[in-house]
Each structure stands twice: as structure tokens, then as C-alpha cells.
């Protein structure tokens, strides 16, 4: 493990002591698929969570965030099973790509509902599309802002694409690039805009050099997102799974 992560886990142990049930690394970082944009995603599970428990964690988490990492997700052990019904995409990601850093594997027995998955996938896709349109308005006037918007938003859409693949009974890989490639193939999408935007995230030189090219790429990108939504909307939730 990265020494920063090791030190942070030690800080969590010292902070929460006997109240700490487990710490789980999940997502692409759990399988070593990290790029310059990605952070460690951590699930911290306590027996109980009150204001004092969260306040006591301030020192450790302040340092963790200072060096550029996401603030961990906190749950109690009893909340895990119930929360999975509300956040099936996130919990599926946790289950499929996880590494237990400390304590017991609280995700091992979590069961997920396909019906709940369908509702969350469509909600998340439509919500993020609406947000993307709003953010495009101020970002559309400069190449830098528009490239940053597309690069940042793609990671969120790829996470939802894993849920889409589950809905059509396709085994979704944990890696971002693999998930994107399989989604494009199975849904018959135009993969060009996704690939170019993914390469922007990887600091590839193949990216638009002026506002016209950047806006054309955005138009292609948003069109393919709309096609994904159409596919999900056409699914019969009763037949899923």
C-alpha cells in the first residue's frame, strides 16, 4: 500500500479505537487502476456514529484531504444492508472491486435488488446529463474549461455505465477503460468521443486545440450519453435479472 494510505489507516485506528469495525478500499484504486485524476475511495465502518465520533476524526481526515484524497464514506455496520437498497450502483462497485484494509468484510453478505438498480441508473444518468448541460453554458467559451468539464464528468458516467451493464446482464469489469469499452460495444455506441475524452484524462496529446473542435467533441459526447439513457429507458424493469 501507498505509505500515505498506511499512515491514514493507523490514524483511523488511533482515532476510533474499539468503535472501528472495518476500513475498505474500493473502486478502481483497489485493483491498481489509478490515474492522475483518481483518489483512494475508502469506506469506514463504525459500530456507532455520533457527532463526537465524526468530530474526533477531523484531525486525521483534514491531513488526508490536504494531500489530495477524498473524504471517506462513513457507515455504521447496521446501516450497510439497508443502504445497499438505496445506492445499488455504489455498493455493487464496492463489492466487485474492494480490498479490506482493516477489520472484517462487511460487504460480503450485502444483497442488491435489480429493480432498485434500474431506478438508480436512470435517475443518475438523467441527473448528470442535466447537470452537464448546465455546466456547459459557462464552460463552452474556452477550450480549457470545456476539456476539464468533459474529463471530469466522464468518470462519473463510467461509474453509472457499470450499473447499465449489470441491467443487461453483462459482467462489468472494475477498470474504467474496460467498462467504457464494453459499454460502447454492447450498446452499439459511437466510441470515438468517449475514447478521446478518456485520453484527455490520461494526458494524451490527442485532444481538441480550439473552441470549435472542443464544442464539436462535446456535442458528440452528449449525444452518446442520450443514447445510453434511451437504452435504459427502453428496458422492462420486470424482466431485468
* pLDDT at 129 exceeding the cut of 90: yes
- Verify that 77 and 135 share a domain, yes or no: no
Average pLDDT of the chain is 88
Which of 52, 69, 103 lies at the terminal end of a domain, its last residue? 103
pLDDT at 204: 58
Looking at 103, 135, 154, which one is the last position of a domain? 103
Residue 173 lies inside a defined structural domain of this protein: yes
pLDDT at 37: 42
* CB-CB contact of 217 with 90 (8 Å): no
CA 58 to chain centre: 24
CB 110 within 8 A of CB 83: no
Measuring CA to CA, how many Å separate 107 from each of 20, 72, 90, 153, 172?
A: 15, 16, 12, 27, 18
pLDDT digits (tens, 9 = 90+) for 145-190: 999 999 999 999 998 999 999 889 888 777 889 999 999 999 999 9
- Is residue 214 assigned to a domain? yes
Give the model's pLDDT for residue 239: 42
Q: Convert the pLDDT of each residue in 75-110 to its tens digit.
A: 999 999 788 888 888 888 788 789 999 999 999 988
CA distance 126 to 225: 9
| pTM score | 0.68
Residue 19 lies in a domain: yes
Residues 127 and 224 in one domain: yes
| Cβ atoms of residues 238 and 118 within 8 Å | no
Question: Is residue 240 pLDDT above 60, yes or no?
Answer: no
Alpha carbons 18 and 164: distance in angstroms, whole number: 39
pLDDT band at 27 (very low <50, low <70, confident <90, very high): confident
Give the mean model confidence (pLDDT) for residues 41-56.
Answer: 95
In a domain, 215, yes or no: yes
Task: Say whether both 60 and 133 belong to one domain.
Answer: no
Boundaries of domain holding 132: 114-239
Q: How many domains, in total, are found in the chain?
A: 2
pLDDT tens, residue by residue, 72-82: 999 999 999 78
- Looking at the fold, whether 46 and 153 belong to one and the same domain comes out as no
Q: How confident is the model over 189-214, as pLDDT tens digits?
A: 999 999 999 988 666 556 777 889 99
Do residue 162 and residue 95 come from a single domain?
Answer: no
* φ, ψ dihedrals at 68, nearest 5°: 105, 15
Q: Are residues 97 and 209 in the same domain?
A: no
**Residue 33 above 70 pLDDT?**
no
Boundary of a domain, candidates 70, 103, 136: 103
On whether residue 109 sits in a domain, the answer given is no
C-alpha distances in angstroms, 211 versus 87, 143, 175, 230? 37, 5, 31, 29
The per-residue pLDDT for 97 is 82
Whether residue 108 is contained in a domain is answered as no
Of 159 and 28, which is predicted with more confidence?
159
Specify the CATH number for the domain of residue 202. Answer: 1.20.120
Amino acid at each position: 500500500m501507498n505509505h500515505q494510505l498506511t499512515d491514514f489507516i493507523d490514524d483511523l485506528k488511533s482515532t476510533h479505537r474499539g468503535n472501528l469495525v472495518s476500513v475498505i478500499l474500493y473502486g478502481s484504486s483497489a485493483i491498481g487502476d489509478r490515474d492522475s485524476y483518481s483518489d483512494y475511495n475508502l469506506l469506514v465502518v463504525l459500530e456507532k456514529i455520533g457527532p463526537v465520533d465524526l468530530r474526533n476524526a477531523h484531525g486525521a481526515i483534514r491531513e488526508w484531504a490536504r494531500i489530495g484524497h477524498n473524504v471517506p464514506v462513513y457507515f455504521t455496520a447496521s446501516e450497510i444492508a439497508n443502504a445497499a437498497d438505496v445506492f445499488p450502483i455504489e455498493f455493487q462497485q464496492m463489492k466487485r472491486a474492494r480490498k479490506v484494509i482493516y477489520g472484517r468484510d462487511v460487504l460480503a453478505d450485502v444483497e442488491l435488488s435489480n429493480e432498485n438498480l434500474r431506478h438508480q441508473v436512470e435517475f443518475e444518468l438523467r441527473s448528470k446529463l442535466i447537470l452537464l448541460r448546465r455546466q456547459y453554458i459557462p464552460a463552452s467559451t474556452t477550450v480549457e474549461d470545456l476539456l476539464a468539464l468533459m474529463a471530469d464528468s466522464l468518470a462519473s458516467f463510467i461509474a453509472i455505465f457499470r450499473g447499465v451493464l449489470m441491467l443487461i446482464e453483462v459482467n462489468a469489469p472494475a477498470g474504467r477503460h474496460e467498462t467504457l469499452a464494453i459499454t460502447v460495444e454492447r450498446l452499439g455506441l459511437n466510441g470515438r468521443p468517449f475514447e478521446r475524452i478518456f485520453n484527455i484524462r490520461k494526458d494524451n496529446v490527442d485532444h481538441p486545440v480550439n473552441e470549435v473542435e472542443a464544442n464539436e467533441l462535446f456535442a458528440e459526447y452528449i449525444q452518446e450519453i442520450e443514447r445510453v439513457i434511451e437504452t435504459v429507458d427502453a428496458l422492462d424493469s420486470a424482466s431485468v435479472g
